[in-house]
Structure 1
């Protein structure tokens, strides 16, 4: 039996592994790694909705030695919190998200392509996917151009704050950029005309001090940058790859359907983790209190009991929107609709601007990550 925990860079086709596990061990105790792996759609939903399955602590007792600012950001992120802390930070994050103004995505992607296209060739991942989503978020909150440039260039270091295990070099990079980014966001937050009413509303409903609200707000605005980089990069990369392979780009509607089907068929986020804070029964299996749980979202998205002809890329399947890539329940990713919209607009612009788009490499290499399937690079030709 292969380990349930493997690097995406070391697997040519993880979906074959998931298919085997779905058939033989849909709820599996991995003795080597001391973790339960959940593969079926029904059981993944059950865990994601179960209040006894909480988000595990990323950095207990600050063993990773993050500095004060980095620790404040990490401890206040909606994605990593539970209970009342999660409810408060989620409310703030949702209010921030609702205040994003519309920006011209086409002009941003046009400039990125212009700056990186050499002899009609470009690395789609590093030129566009790692830049566009976070720049859209930054501009939607009116950040100055120099601040947009700084954060866009440093966000790849900061997103490592989400990793359960970090190298000393990663911790060093996080500590180096966190204070500057925190300061930039703090300055901009006070200039936003809605912030005063937002803080008053949160203070009144949750009995928090204005300073506590400020820290949570700054942290979760930074969290939006992190989410846009994580989710946005992967969706833009994987969607272009699948659309070109399946030739589904004749209209904006077809592209949007293709993006949604990519989220099911080849999702950037393959799994997420939980910790049992009480005993949980799944089928005939007992997950005991304090057991770790791996919720294999990418496997659930290929469950034949949920999706007909699950191994076929089909943009017309009626229930494609029910994929679990962004989660479900209280911890469903807030960037879901934003990411789908941004990817649809960006790819529609790309296919409108260029008559011929060709992938220049057949063997895509993936980042050495357990939870995410992210191409390192996708070199394309634009004619």
Structure 2
């Protein structure tokens, strides 16, 4: 079996899926593109997922030749091997084209995570129809949407709702991170991609310095991926942050569980924060041209997953030119000044957790087995 996951969140999703697949088929051998979560289940990575972890039109163009070269090499390898199944985990720009090449050759293709046709790029639905035998959906409204276009799909729940505890243990997380039990903690998550850190970290840390000036004693915890730790440290130092700042590698869930609220880059991490029932300020910056292109294709008024799923502006979103240090700090301070508002969003996120929690590994494995039986 072959798989491709293109970033940290995809590696986590694929690792959960491999839990179910290897339980059903103990002799399963899987290879392709992935990360450490997948490797923990015996997955053999021909390339690390970081090679695909690029977001935005202009940013992708800078890496276009390398990414296309990797896809061509993997396509040729898979067409020669003809594995019975290919699973693309998120990374739709990479995976759908690869699946379109494999499916006519008799390789069954499953896309795990429906591309966000309900948020932007609705025209992509035809590519999904052409490329995928089946789509594993992590949001409950997606199978019906895909069915209108003749695409077979199964709602399998969101695996993060299984991984993240229904009742987070803030005290235990603070002990694990060496944070004091009393006092306020702000988690800062400027993203896992180099482009995200470049565009977001300076504004995030300048905002954090303003928050520290207003809320004496507030602690800052910043989880990073190892490849971005140096850049994160440099941005924090440039903003004058030192005392009260803790940078940790690979511990984003502990940071979210330990904090009172988070300043966070738009993406899967915002859903993780919601499942930890944490108030948040969502922000995003990217290359100006990339932002203008994406803005024109947006189909709804939100970019943050918590707001999209709740169908309301439950948490603030500050995008592009609005993501200034002043406005980011103001939004954080407004949360801290309103404990009643923090409690209300906690209840909304608890209800959302209930909607998303399913036995994802089991449901996904059952759906994949049916796909293989129709081969």
Mark yes or no: TM-score above 0.5: no
Question: TM-score, normalised on structure 1?
Answer: 0.26
Structure with bigger strand share is 2
* Larger RCO (alpha carbons 8 Å, 6+ apart): 1
Normalising by structure 2, we get a TM-score of 0.26
